[in-house]
Amino acid sequence: MSQNIRPDRDFTTLKDYRRTGGYQGIRKALTELRPKQVQQLVKDAGLRGRGGAGFSTGLKWSLVPMEDDSAADIRQTRYFLANADEMEPGAFKDRLLLEQDPHQLIEGIIIGAYAIQANIAYIFMRGEYRLAAKRVAHALQEARDHSYLGEHILDTDFNLEIYLHTSAGRYICGEETALLNALQGRRSIPRAKPPFAVVSGLWGRPTVANNVETLCNVPHILHYGVDWYHSLGLGADQGTKLFGVSGRVKHPGLWELPMGTPIREIIEEHAGGMQDGYRLRGFLPGGASTDFLLPEHLDVLMDYDAVAKAGSRMGTGTIIVLDDQTCPVQMVLNLEEFFAQESCGWCTPCRDGLPWTVTLLKDIVAGRGRMEDLYTLAGLTRMLGPGHTFCALAPGAMEPLQSALKFFREDFERYIIGNSATREPA
- Within 385-414, which residues bind other proteins (CB under 8 A)? 387-390
CB of 208 to ligand FMN, least distance (A): 9
- 194-223 residues near other proteins, rule: CB under 8 A: 194-195, 199-200, 202-205
DSSP class of residue 423? P
Sheet hosting strand 79-84, strand order edge to edge: 161-166, 120-125, 79-84, 207-211
CA 423 – CA 85 distance, rounded (Å): 34
CA 108 – CA 49 distance, rounded (Å): 13
The reply to whether 21 sits near ligand SF4 by the rule CB under 6 A is: no
Cα-Cα-Cα-Cα torsion 167, 173, 176, 180, nearest 10 degrees, comes to -50
The residue (of 43 and 388) whose beta carbon lies closer to other proteins is: 388
The reply to whether 190 sits near ligand SF4 by the rule CB under 6 A is: yes
The residue (of 364 and 401) whose beta carbon lies closer to ligand FMN is: 401
Question: Mask of contacts with other proteins, 104-143, x by CB under 8 A?
Answer: ------------------x----xxxxx------------
3-class SS string, 281-337: EEEEECECCCCCECHHHCCCECCHHHHHHCCCCCCCCEEEEEECCCCHHHHHHHHHH
Q: Is the dihedral of CA 54, 59, 63, 66 positive or negative?
A: positive
Question: Mask of contacts with ligand FMN, 193-232, x by CB under 6 A?
Answer: ----------------xxx--x------------------
The reply to whether 252 sits near other proteins by the rule CB under 8 A is: yes
Q: Do residues 177 and 57 make contact, with C-beta atoms less than 8 angstroms apart?
A: no
DSSP class of residue 9? S
Q: What is the DSSP string of 66-95?
A: -S-STTGGG----EEEEEE---STT--SHH
Question: Mask of contacts with ligand SF4, 123-162, x by CB under 6 A?
Answer: ----------------------------------------
- 404-423 residues near ligand SF4, rule: CB under 6 A: none
Q: Give residue 136's Cα distance to chain centre.
A: 19
The reply to whether 181 sits near ligand FMN by the rule CB under 6 A is: no
The reply to whether 353 sits near other proteins by the rule CB under 8 A is: yes
CB of 341 to ligand FMN, least distance (A): 13
The reply to whether 344 sits near ligand SF4 by the rule CB under 6 A is: yes
What single-letter amino acid sits at 54? G
CB of 178 to ligand FMN, least distance (A): 7
- 386-415 residues near ligand FMN, rule: CB under 6 A: 391-393
CB of 225 to other proteins, least distance (A): 32
Largest Cα–Cα separation, the chain: 73
* Residue of 34, 156, 231, 345 interacting with other proteins (CB under 8 A): 345
Per-residue CA distances from 218 to 58, 113, 240, 313 (Å): 10, 12, 12, 23
- 264-303 residues near other proteins, rule: CB under 8 A: 284, 288
The reply to whether 172 sits near ligand SF4 by the rule CB under 6 A is: yes
Q: Which spans of this chain sit near ligand SF4 (rule: CB under 6 A)?
A: 172, 190, 343-347, 350-351, 389-391, 393-394
